[in-house]
Amino acid sequence: MDIKHYNQAPKRDATFITPPNLIKGKVGSGGLSEQILRRAQKLLETHTADFAPLADIYLSRMMESIEKAENPDEDDSLEDLITAILLPCVQLKANGAMFHYQLITRIADRFVQFMEVVERLDKETIEIAKAYHSTIKIVVAGKIKGDGGKQGDALVDELNGACMRYFDKHRDTIDFGKNI
């Protein structure tokens, strides 16, 4: 016998609405031509906006948060301290490559991956955070655009290695399946 909801009143009513597709009505069909997409991409690849002032702001915020994590107040939660370090780094990751600093995006991405899973802010965690901070600062100061070539790879490998050693050391105390 097929009785809808076993004759019980629905508990979680959801209404589905199909709004009018106003934008489709305006733009028509056919997509954008390859020529337009290429022109827009060229604009993205050749613009000359300076990223350094913005990067300096994010780096300063990152260092302030690292220093705060070194000397936290009693009511600072671990999650808040981690997030405060993480956010400016996410900005560096997000914006670096948009302004031709692909190496910054790569380094910052590795650091974000690290910070998303750390469970403590001890001396070693802070050391790693400072290492990432200094490396990004050097890339900005040296105006190292692009992926940094082999030197860029070496830098990323070195920082990755530090993180791997950190997690190897804390293997017994970190719950790798846990979402913090």
Partner 1 sequence: MTYSFQTTKVLLVEDNAPMLELLKGILQSFGIGTIITALDGEEGFVKFCQHNPDLVITDWMMTPCDGIALSHKIRNEKKSPNQYVPIILMTGFSEKKRVFNARDAGITEFLVKPFNTRDLYRRLHQIIERPRQFVRCEEFFGPDRRRKTAKNLDGLMRRKEDSKDTDETKDKTTTETGNNDAPLTDIDFL
Q: Which residues lie below 8 Å from residue 110, measured CB to CB, with a gap of 6+?
A: 132, 156, 159, 160, 163
Contacts of partner 1 in 71-130 (CB under 8 A):
87, 90-91, 93-99, 102, 105, 109, 112, 116
Q: Are 68 and 76 in contact (CB under 8 A)?
A: yes
Q: Are 159 and 110 in contact (CB under 8 A)?
A: yes
Among 17, 77, 79, 150, binds partner 1 (CB under 8 A): 17
Indicate whether 173 belongs to the interface with partner 1 (CB under 8 A). no
Angle formed at CA 17 by CA 12 and CA 19, multiple of 5 degrees: 155
* Residue 139, Cβ density class (10 Å: 0-12 exposed, 13-18 middle, ≥19 buried): buried
Question: 90: burial class by Cβ within 10 Å (0-12, 13-18, 19+)?
Answer: middle
The nearer residue to partner 1, 8 or 71, going by C-beta atoms, is 8
Among 3, 8, 9, 12, contact with partner 1 (rule: CB under 8 A): 12
Binding mask 150-169 for partner 1 (x = CB under 8 A): --------------------
Residue 38 Cβ vs partner 1, minimum distance, rounded to whole Å: 9
Count of residues in contact with partner 1, rule CB under 8 A: 49
Q: Which residues bind partner 1 (CB under 8 A)?
A: 12-19, 21-24, 26-33, 36-37, 39-41, 43-44, 47, 49-51, 54, 87, 90-91, 93-99, 102, 105, 109, 112, 116, 147, 179
